[in-house]
């Protein structure tokens, strides 16, 4: 399949930043594709990352205290 190629204009600082992200044999399209995937990727990759974190315990306690301090709804 023939891919259509487009010319884009980017700032010099953006070009330098993309160049720093290039790996061996990467094109700029490869770098941009990777960045897009990171930005729009599947959030399930984060599932369980805080499983053993004390942050979850603190958040749970904070939520309980916040609920306890609130006025009851009628």
- For the chain, how long is the longest CA-to-CA vector? 65
Domain with 62 in it: 12-69
In a domain, 7, yes or no: no
In a domain, 5, yes or no: no
In a domain, 74, yes or no: no
Provide the pLDDT for residue 18.
96
In a domain, 1, yes or no: no
Low-confidence ranges of the chain (pLDDT < 70): 1-2, 72-74
Rounded Cα gap, residues 27 and 3, in angstroms: 14
Provide the pLDDT for residue 32.
95
**CA dihedral sign of residues 19, 20, 21, 25:** positive
CA 33 centroid distance within chain: 14
Provide the pLDDT for residue 2.
64
Provide the pLDDT for residue 49.
81
Provide the pLDDT for residue 7.
93
């Amino acid at each position: 399949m023939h891919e259509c190629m487009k010319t884009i204009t980017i700032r010099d600082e953006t070009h330098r930043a993309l160049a720093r992200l290039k790996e061996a044999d990467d094109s700029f399209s490869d770098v941009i594709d990777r960045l897009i995937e990171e930005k729009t990727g599947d959030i399930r990759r984060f599932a369980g990352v805080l499983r053993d974190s004390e942050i979850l315990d603190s958040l749970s306690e904070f939520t309980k205290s916040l609920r306890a301090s609130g006025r009851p709804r009628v």
